[in-house]
């Protein structure tokens, strides 16, 4: 394109690449830094990197989307990922959208969707809101896109009639139908009669509306815990929670992606709420759970937790189960928070299912605290006069997303 026997001498048109994405590509080729990535341009940059086989930039774009994806931008990213053959990004975006549909409805991104994409969105079987909420959201979209038309009333009905067949009206309550599509005049009298007949009669007529209820993926759950260093001998009192010669680093909070990895997330929540003993690893520091039940995991609990899929890459701050050896005993689970230094991580990590959303500075404080006093090779303090150091986590709490958001507002 630019050099050699086939070099083009005039202006080279690249019609399928956005200028901003191409600019990021050029900067990366010179500096090897993905400067300027945002949720608005990440997919365009990903396509550009894929087109010109710049694999490192392509990987960075995928990682950027994983770390920054929001419900507000999820459907636009999903649509582009499908077109550009990025199945993992597409599924991750759909998981986010399915578990947090309400946030998407309240965002400007929803109101700016083209009609074609809105129709595609209504085909989804996994949305976490009621069908009446979907109807009301679509109604607001139609109002916004028709309110400036001189013939607003007729234009409203014309546009809405093209979308109404993607809404699962048989799932709505009779009062919702009466106060919604019936009052808005979207349905013909015959369609309205058939709809009510379908809901109440034994012999149901054929109707042009989907009748299957949508399902919703579970929302993320948040788990918080304190990280503690104890100096001196390990004792039963310490395991029970006695504070003696200890230093509390701070508190970390994990976002557990129940929407992406429901089985692994369920196993982890069980460990937390049932006071089970498990180990949390960050680099080569292992935290044992303070005051936990020493009983091993039940025999019917899998030793290697379900992999399910590989939607989440193991980036710094991501949390995964460590895969145990087949003959490992006792049955104590081990989790790993991915360290910035890849050599400090165990390679036998399993399903990535969560990420640290606050407290990374606390984890880094563990490194800065331990490095001056700890012999990493031998696993003990440099001098015999220094007390042994044991690392624990405790005060584990589990909260739903709504509780987490309320706490953040406070």
For the chain, which domains are there? 19-200 (no CATH), 221-409 (2.40.100)
347 Cβ contact list (under 8 Å, min separation 6): none
Q: What is the pLDDT of residue 199?
A: 92
pLDDT tier for residue 251 given thresholds of 50, 70 and 90:
very high
Using alpha carbons, select from 388, 394, 366 the residue that is nearest to residue 234: 388
Tokens representing residue 73 in the block = 């931008």
Count of beta carbons in the 10 Å neighbourhood of residue 317: 20
Tell whether the model's pLDDT for residue 407 goes beyond 70: no
Side-chain-side CA neighbours of 138 within 13 Å: the count stands at 31
Tell whether the model's pLDDT for residue 400 goes beyond 60: yes
Mean of per-residue pLDDT scores for the chain:
84
Average confidence (pLDDT) over 200-216: 92
> Percent of the chain beyond pLDDT 90?
59
The Cα angle at residue 83 between residues 81 and 86, in degrees rounded to 5 = 35
pLDDT tier for residue 293 given thresholds of 50, 70 and 90:
low
Which residue's entry shows tokens 């004792």? 235
Tell whether the model's pLDDT for residue 355 goes beyond 70: yes
Rounded CA gap, 20 and 14, in Å?
12
Rounded CA gap, 266 and 273, in Å?
10
Relative to beta strand 389-400, strand 285-289 is parallel
Q: Which of 162-171, 256-265, 318-327 has the lowest mean pLDDT?
A: 318-327
Tell whether the model's pLDDT for residue 371 goes beyond 70: no
Tell whether the model's pLDDT for residue 329 goes beyond 60: no
Tokens representing residue 26 in the block = 């050029």
Tell whether the model's pLDDT for residue 232 goes beyond 70: no
Tell whether the model's pLDDT for residue 142 goes beyond 90: yes
Tell whether the model's pLDDT for residue 263 goes beyond 70: yes
Q: What is the pLDDT of residue 295?
A: 60
Residue 390 buriedness (CB in 10 A; 0-12 / 13-18 / 19+): buried
């Amino acid at each position: 394109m630019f050099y050699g026997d086939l070099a083009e001498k005039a202006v080279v048109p690249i019609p399928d690449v956005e200028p901003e994405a191409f600019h990021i590509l050029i900067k990366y080729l010179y500096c090897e830094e993905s400067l300027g990535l945002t949720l608005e341009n990440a997919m365009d940059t990903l396509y550009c990197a894929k087109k010109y086989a710049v694999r490192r930039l392509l990987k960075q774009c995928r990682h950027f989307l994983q770390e920054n994806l929001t419900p507000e931008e999820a459907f636009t990213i999903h649509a582009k990922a499908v077109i550009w053959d990025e199945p993992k990004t597409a599924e991750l975006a759909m998981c986010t959208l399915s578990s947090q549909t309400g946030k998407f409805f309240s965002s400007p991104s929803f109101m700016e969707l083209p009609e074609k994409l809105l129709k595609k969105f209504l085909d989804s079987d996994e949305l976490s809101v009621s069908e009446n909420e979907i109807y009301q959201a679509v109604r607001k979209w139609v109002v916004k896109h028709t309110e400036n038309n001189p013939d607003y009333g007729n234009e409203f009905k014309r546009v809405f009639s093209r979308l109404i067949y993607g809404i699962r009206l048989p799932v709505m309550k009779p009062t919702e139908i009466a106060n919604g599509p019936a009052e808005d005049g979207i349905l013909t009298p015959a369609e309205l009669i058939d709809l009510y007949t379908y809901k109440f009669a034994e012999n149901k007529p054929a109707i042009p509306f989907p009748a299957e209820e949508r399902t919703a993926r579970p929302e993320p759950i948040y788990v918080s815990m304190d990280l503690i260093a104890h100096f001196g001998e390990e004792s039963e009192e310490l395991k029970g929670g006695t504070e003696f010669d200890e230093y509390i680093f701070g508190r970390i909070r994990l976002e557990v992606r129940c929407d992406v990895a429901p089985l692994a997330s369920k196993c982890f929540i069980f460990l937390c709420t049932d006071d089970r003993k498990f180990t949390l690893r960050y680099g080569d520091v292992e935290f044992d759970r303070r005051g936990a039940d020493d009983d091993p995991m039940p025999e019917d609990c899998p030793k290697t937790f379900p992999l399910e899929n590989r939607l989440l890459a193991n980036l710094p701050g991501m949390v995964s189960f460590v895969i145990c050896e087949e003959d490992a005993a006792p049955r104590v689970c081990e989790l790993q928070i991915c360290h910035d230094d890849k050599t400090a991580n165990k390679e036998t990590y399993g399903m990535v299912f969560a990420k640290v959303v606050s407290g990374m500075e606390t984890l880094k404080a563990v490194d800065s605290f331990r490095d001056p006093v700890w012999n990493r090779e031998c696993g003990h303090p440099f001098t015999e006069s220094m007390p042994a150091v044991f690392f624990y986590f405790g005060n584990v709490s589990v909260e739903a997303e709504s509780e987490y958001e309320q706490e953040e507002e406070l």
